[in-house]
Structure 1
């Protein structure tokens, strides 16, 4: 029987690349997105179902899962990819935007997972792959809310992995860093442009933007296709490995967080990402 994967957020970036990769490897693919009309290229591929799924609309989640099972008979892998990043000063971010950040990156992911779990439980098999970020491991200034949502995703995923292992269901976390061929940066930039800055923060914001510009210039960014390969490995390697670092640019920061003391980690990060004022 051909395996089936359901992927959220397939209109661009990781989701689209992952859908194409699974299809090329012979899988049935349920490529979901908020606006299915933007998935015409995917829909033209063999064994691909493009379905509407908005993680902020629980009814669309239930409908998409039902469509997937009706079309292909089963779901073997769920890839929770849909997400976006808020950027800006926390103090000036409206509560509604904070709620949206968590609705998309965490609560929506939970809703999709909950909708698929009865199917996995009945089959006593399945893999949940949650797309996190380097910002779920270490933090950076100006993206405190994005970090908060991804830290929460990491904790949820790890705890969930213990619950589901007894049912034969695996949970995986994929952690990408900077990627050029994705729509993530554009939306994050648009969100940042809508935020306001208090005068007291302006020197900090200017210095932080200079730090980020230097980081972007110095790193070799990966592509969505390279991240898709890591997602495919996580979904299919049959191991109990929980976390997969997907891009080389964040490996030094991940190592500093996970392999050194708290004091050494903070010194390392303050030297590299904390803006120097004055």
Structure 2
């Protein structure tokens, strides 16, 4: 029986690349997105079903799952990919944008997962791959809210494994960093540009901007590379929980996971924290 995957956030970036990766491997793909006019060449293929799913709209989630099962008979794998990043000084970000960050990256992911779990339980099988980030492992200046949302995703996913593994349902985390072929970073910075930043923060923002530019200069991965790791996580049959998807974040992940707390904090502060500006 041909396997079926449901992927959120397929209008661009990792989601779109992942849809193509699964199709190339012979899967049925339910490619979901908020606006189906953004589907591009995902439309028109017999084993791709494009449908609307907005993770902030539970009714659209339920409908998309129902349509997918009607179309292909079953769903084997869920890829929770939909998300966005907030970039900016925390003090300046409006409360409604803070709420939106968690509504999409955390609560929306939970909504989709909850809606599909009865189907997985009934089949005593299923795989959930949650697309996290290096920002769910270590933190960086000016993306505190994005980090918070991805740390929440990581904790939720790890805990969920203990509940679902006895039911035959696997949970995986894929952790990408910088990618050369998505516009995620530019979208995040555009969000932050709309907030008024007090002058006290200007040197910090400028310093962080230079450091982010340095990170992008060492990024070599593409969306297709990340899609390959997502596919591996979904299909390798192992009980591995976390998969690092891009080489650029490996030094920072090792610093977090393989050194002492004191060493890690020193490493990150030396790399990313601006020098004190002064005070009274």
- TM-score between both structures, scaled by the size of structure 1: 0.98
Q: Tell whether the 8 Å contact from 2:8 to 2:33 is kept in structure 1 after alignment.
A: yes
Q: Distance in 1 between matches of 2:24 and 2:156?
A: 31
Confirm or deny that 1:116 pairs with 2:116. yes
Counterpart in the other structure of 1:31:
31
How far residue 277 of structure 1 moved from its aligned partner, in angstroms, is 5.3
Counterpart in the other structure of 2:207:
207
SS in 1 for 2:51: strand
How far residue 185 of structure 1 moved from its aligned partner, in angstroms, is 1.7
Q: How does 1:24-173 map to 2 (within 5 A)?
A: 24-173=24-173
Q: Which moved more, 1:266-275 or 1:132-141?
A: 266-275
How far residue 214 of structure 1 moved from its aligned partner, in angstroms, is 2.2
User: What 5-or-longer segments of structure 1 have no aligned partner?
Assistant: none
SS in 2 for 1:69: helix
Tell me how large the CA RMSD over aligned residues is.
1.0
User: What 5-or-longer segments of structure 2 have no aligned partner?
Assistant: none
Q: Distance in 1 between matches of 2:142 and 2:185?
A: 14
Q: Distance in 2 between matches of 1:220 and 1:13?
A: 15
Counterpart in the other structure of 2:273:
274
Confirm or deny that 1:255 pairs with 2:257. no
Show CA shifts across 1:138-197 (max 9, x none).
000000000000000000000001100010000000000001111312321220111220
Q: Distance in 2 between matches of 1:103 and 1:180?
A: 27
Q: Distance in 1 between matches of 2:2 and 2:35?
A: 27
How far residue 221 of structure 1 moved from its aligned partner, in angstroms, is 2.5
Give the ranges of 4+ consecutive aligned residues of structure 1 lying more than 4 Å apart after TM superposition.
none
Q: Tell whether the 8 Å contact from 1:204 to 1:277 is kept in structure 2 after alignment.
A: no
Count of paired positions: 277
Q: Distance in 1 between matches of 2:215 and 2:60?
A: 39
Q: Tell whether the 8 Å contact from 2:14 to 2:224 is kept in structure 1 after alignment.
A: yes
- TM-score between both structures, scaled by the size of structure 2: 0.97
Q: Distance in 2 between matches of 1:86 and 1:30?
A: 27
